[in-house]
Amino acid sequence: LNIENGLRRALDNEGELILEYQPQVELNGGRMVSAEALLRWKTPEGTVISPGRFIPIAEETGLIVPIGEKVLRNACATLARWRAAGLPLPRIAVNIAAPQFESRNFGDTVARALADYNVPPDRLELELTESVIVRDAESALREMARLKELGVSIALDDFGTGYSSLSYLSRMPIDLVKIDRAFVMRSTDDDNARTIVRSIVALSHALRHKVVAEGVETRAQLTQLRRAGCDYVQGFLLARPMSEAALTAWLSSEV
């Protein structure tokens, strides 16, 4: 299978590129505050290809721009359906690749998706990584400010694994910091990883950002995160990524 050609076809083929959603819940209380949209590619031959394999190729070929727009619009469509059903509306968090963020008119694309589906802007969360800051920090900060003006939420994904300087953390107009799962994983048996987790939480809170830990798999990790004062958790311990239908059922049970 040629991934590039396959992706071009998938873009026009309803039902090939689909979203799963993974809940992000309050560490104390368990209420769902957000759900991360995770892309899945089901080819007509029935193969499921993981984003780890096709997203890098989509980034190299530029296909990430139309694919990312489709993801944004599908996420907004899901929010619109939940809203119409009168369900409690969590945010939906959408991963934004650097080339997509840097593409012309990205802000307009986001604004159009929000308007077309009539979703409250703060229900859409954009997950950016530090890589957007590395290339051209000043223009990235301007673009982030523009997105904040639209009213969307911004999360900094995979925090601690990139190469941005800490000074930018205080300048970015973000709402949430997502602690990378590598730190979460090691936080139960590695004192240094535990210290890093605590420091990320303290630093983020001092800058008035909320903190999400990702990749939470064990009760012991959850205990460490509670002690560190983390706000929200996401991971297999809480819930695996699931279909929209399954998440709709979860939301219905929260009413």
Answer yes or no whether residue 90 interacts with ligand G by CB under 6 A: no
Written as six digits, the tokens of 115 are 């308007």
Contacts of 125 (CB under 8 A, 6+ apart): 34, 91, 92, 93, 94, 152, 153, 154, 155, 175, 176
Contact pick of 158, 212, 221, 225 for Na ion (by CB under 5 A): 158
Instruction: Give the interface segment with ligand G, choosing from 79-87, 106-114, 205-213, 234-242 (CB under 6 A).
Output: 234-242
Shortest Å, Cβ 160 to ligand G? 12
The pair of three-digit structure tokens given for residue 43, joined into one six-digit string = 């080819």
Q: Which of 36, 69, 157, 244 binds Na ion (CB under 5 A)?
A: 157
Subset of residues 166 to 195 that bind ligand G, contact rule: CB under 6 A: 181
80 half-sphere exposure, CB direction, 13 A CA radius: 13
Residue type, 150: L
**Of 82 and 221, which has the nearer Cβ to ligand G?**
221
Stretch that binds ligand G, among 81-89, 146-154, 163-171, 211-219 (CB under 6 A): 211-219
- Which residues bind to Mn ion, rule: CB under 5 A? 95, 127, 157
| Distance linking the first and last C-alpha atoms of the chain | 45
Q: How far is the CB of 127 from Na ion (least distance, A)?
A: 7
Binding ligand G by CB under 6 A: which of 102, 143, 175, 217? 217
CB proximity list for 212: less than 8 A, separation 6 or greater: 24, 34, 155, 176, 177, 178, 179, 230, 231, 232, 233, 234
6 versus 156: smaller Cβ distance to Mn ion? 156
